[in-house]
Structure 1
Amino acid sequence: MPTFLDFERPIAELQGRIDELRDSSGGVGAGGVDIEPEVRRLQAKSDKLLRDTFARLTPWQKTQVARHPERPHFKDYVAGLFDEFVPLAGDRGFADDQAIQGGFARFRGRRVMVLGNEKGADTASRLRHNFGMGKPEGYRKAVRLMQLADRFGLPVLTLVDTSGAFPGIQAEERGQAEAIARSTQAALALGVPMVAAVVGEGGSGGAVALAAGNRVLMFEHAVYSVISPEGCASILWRTADKAPEAAEAMKVTAQELKTLGVIDTIVAEPLGGAHRDPAGAIANLGDALAAAMVDLGGQPAERLRLGRREKFLAMGRS
């Protein structure tokens, strides 16, 4: 069973009842009563409730789905979409940041450079990967890998899933803001196609540093914003309790950002979110990445650079 979110409690209760009935031996309950008709009825009711719930998610509820601990992570996308992945480590200056991963790979027969945030799947790995929050050396590694891809004429694919860059004092001492700016600059300067996908959270400059591509894709229930809803609420209302109101005002959802021209394509998720069917979500993302690469194929370097420039300068214009 998946981990249910607070707003999914009615679904969880139905699913719990279904599981209790299915645990009855052979589908026959006490006194030899056939329980399968009741199981089917409850399952149909649960499926309808799930569809109805996810058809009208609020921005705050989408934020919760985007943060679900069981959503696929970078390592899952690499395993499901890429062959011959060769990880590359280190910024050649300070250290190797485990929050930002990357390396050479083959995507549907074509050599590419793939980069992304890895949040980790359990307590130990989350600590090791710093919950996907990159440090300066992570963004400097991203610059190194993007420039390497440019040198060898390889498309760059990025998978963004971070609440933001790491805000600790050590990161600030090592030039966090400068490293983020350099990564964004490197992405904008690429002479090869760059396709970015927001697969969970796209938080602040830590996300933009890996998402300044020719095409920006976004999962249906992902979120993308300049600050977390809690951070925004703490600034405006002096309390994180106003996070739902902040999420509503900030236009963090894929549907709103598509209308505003911030992203290009919304990638459908399986019913109930990517965490309920990771394989289906990964396959959908693969098809969207492939379509974007076909769209960008054959364009000369200067056209790719100009396209990125025009894309980002157009944001916010009426």
Structure 2
Amino acid sequence: MTSYLDFEKPLAEIEGKAEELRAMARTNAEMDIEDEARALDAKANALLKDLYKKLTPWRKCQIARHPERPHCKDYIEALFTEYTPLAGDRKFADDDAVMGGLARFDDIPVVVIGHEKGHDTESRLQRNFGMARPEGYRKAVRLMDMADKFSLPVITLVDTPGAFPGKGAEERGQSEAIARSTEKCLQIGVPLLSVIIGEGGSGGAVAFATADRLAMLEHSVYSVISPEGCASILWKDSEKMVDAAEALRLTAQDLHKLGVADQIIPEPLGGAHRNRDEAMLAVGDTLRGMLDELKDVKPKKLIADRRRKFLDIGAKGLAA
């Protein structure tokens, strides 16, 4: 059963009618409804193209959060082999909101790290909806240290509304853990590739995305705060999230123009959730190209270029 977003309701009606006709035909072999169903399919496809032709930033946020969108675990299973998860930060606990471990990408040994939101109520609660605690970021630091020691490229898959803001997380040094993870991204002498696969929220995303190359899926978003949070602060009204989404310039297209994102990965028509395999293969192709570009760069140059990249983003912003 497909989950439809608010702006897709007309599409839901048409696709629902086509499915009803086919269901009736399955129970009554004498019914010949294929022509009518195909006509509805064509109408639905035309409407889908029209809906996705010019999406607003708020609609992009809705698509980025779609519950059927592929998550970190799906990408790891589809693109990596011999994945061996590594748990814990060696200080406090393991954090199920952050997945990470050793794997092979095109038979190349790598370290892969990412936020995992979960796919149903039970797993979402277990994964804390992709909102990492300090131990999650400290686990990521441990894995990046290991990657640097053994000269393994690091691939991060970002999908979080932000770091967990709970009392326990704050008591255990949430902001310090995020800062240490961001710092570690800047220090390692191996290629660091990052893909925003859904939401890239606040410092919780920056802690994994301070990379040599940052790619964003076409309908992903990346911002300093969620539109709802921004609206609550600026207007004391979370319902103004549509205006906030416009102001934040959080879409892949905006961030590519600003020089924050290096590449935009096209999604299937209707978003990654409509053709998960195609979307995941596109991410794999992008990672392959970025890794090939950086594989022979020396550690000192990688570190220097990475630092310069982020300093230049700030300089361009001041100049503008």
User: What TM-score bracket applies, with the shorter chain setting the length?
Assistant: over 0.9
Q: Secondary structure in 1 aligned to 2:2?
A: coil
Most deviating of 59-68 and 307-316: 307-316
1:40 and 1:8 map into 2 onto residues whose CA distance is: 20
Q: Which residue of 2 aligns with 1:44?
A: 42
Q: Secondary structure in 2 aligned to 1:315?
A: helix
Q: CA deviation at 1:25?
A: 2.2
Q: Which residue of 2 aligns with 1:202?
A: 200
Q: Answer yes or no: is 1:301 the counterpart of 2:299.
A: yes
Q: Which residue of 2 aligns with 1:168?
A: 166
Q: Could you tell me whether the CA contact under 8 Å between 1:2 and 1:275 is conserved in 2?
A: no
1:169 and 1:279 map into 2 onto residues whose CA distance is: 39
Q: Which residue of 1 aligns with 2:225?
A: 227
Q: Which residue of 2 aligns with 1:15?
A: 15
Name the aligned partner's letter for residue 211 of structure 2.
Answer: G
1:24 and 1:89 map into 2 onto residues whose CA distance is: 50
2:205 and 2:55 map into 1 onto residues whose CA distance is: 23
1:34 and 1:227 map into 2 onto residues whose CA distance is: 53
Q: Which residue of 2 aligns with 1:266?
A: 264
The CA deviation string for residues 135-161 of structure 1, in whole angstroms up to 9 with x for no partner, is: 001000000000100000000000000
1:182 and 1:66 map into 2 onto residues whose CA distance is: 27
Q: Which residue of 1 aligns with 2:105?
A: 107
Q: Could you tell me whether the CA contact under 8 Å between 1:101 and 1:118 is conserved in 2?
A: yes
1:48 and 1:266 map into 2 onto residues whose CA distance is: 24
1:1-318 matches, within 5 Å, as 1-25=1-25, 34-316=32-314, 317=316, 318=319
Name the aligned partner's letter for residue 85 of structure 1.
Answer: Y
Name the aligned partner's letter for residue 13 of structure 1.
Answer: E
Q: Could you tell me whether the CA contact under 8 Å between 1:18 and 1:39 is conserved in 2?
A: yes
Q: CA deviation at 1:27?
A: 9.7
Name the aligned partner's letter for residue 19 of structure 1.
Answer: E
Q: CA deviation at 1:34?
A: 3.1
Q: Secondary structure in 2 aligned to 1:23?
A: helix
The CA deviation string for residues 182-222 of structure 1, in whole angstroms up to 9 with x for no partner, is: 00000011100000000000000000000000000100000
Q: CA deviation at 1:7?
A: 0.3
1:185 and 1:217 map into 2 onto residues whose CA distance is: 20
Q: Could you tell me whether the CA contact under 8 Å between 2:25 and 2:31 is conserved in 1?
A: no
Identity %: 58
Q: Could you tell me whether the CA contact under 8 Å between 2:86 and 2:101 is conserved in 1?
A: yes
Count of residue pairs the alignment pairs up: 316
The CA deviation string for residues 81-104 of structure 1, in whole angstroms up to 9 with x for no partner, is: 000001000000000011011000
1:208 and 1:72 map into 2 onto residues whose CA distance is: 20
1:203 and 1:260 map into 2 onto residues whose CA distance is: 17
2:61 and 2:13 map into 1 onto residues whose CA distance is: 22
1:83 and 1:306 map into 2 onto residues whose CA distance is: 31
Most deviating of 162-171 and 47-56: 47-56
- In the alignment, structure 2 segments of 5+ residues that lack a partner are none
1:295 and 1:50 map into 2 onto residues whose CA distance is: 36
Q: Kindly report structure 1 stretches of 4+ aligned residues shifted beyond 4 Å.
A: 26-29
- In the alignment, structure 1 segments of 5+ residues that lack a partner are none
2:35 and 2:91 map into 1 onto residues whose CA distance is: 65
Q: Secondary structure in 2 aligned to 1:160?
A: strand
Name the aligned partner's letter for residue 108 of structure 1.
Answer: D
Q: CA deviation at 1:26?
A: 5.5
2:190 and 2:92 map into 1 onto residues whose CA distance is: 27
Q: Could you tell me whether the CA contact under 8 Å between 1:28 and 1:35 is conserved in 2?
A: no
Q: Could you tell me whether the CA contact under 8 Å between 1:159 and 1:199 is conserved in 2?
A: yes
1:201 and 1:2 map into 2 onto residues whose CA distance is: 20
Q: CA deviation at 1:307?
A: 1.1
Q: Secondary structure in 1 aligned to 2:52?
A: helix
The CA deviation string for residues 122-180 of structure 1, in whole angstroms up to 9 with x for no partner, is: 11111111111000010000000001000000000000000000000110100000000
Q: Could you tell me whether the CA contact under 8 Å between 1:133 and 1:163 is conserved in 2?
A: yes
Q: CA deviation at 1:181?
A: 0.2
CA RMSD of the aligned region, Å? 1.2
Name the aligned partner's letter for residue 238 of structure 1.
Answer: K
2:31 and 2:21 map into 1 onto residues whose CA distance is: 11
- TM-score scaled by structure 1? 0.97
The CA deviation string for residues 218-270 of structure 1, in whole angstroms up to 9 with x for no partner, is: 00000000000000000111101100110011001000100000110101111
- TM-score scaled by structure 2? 0.97
Name the aligned partner's letter for residue 96 of structure 1.
Answer: D
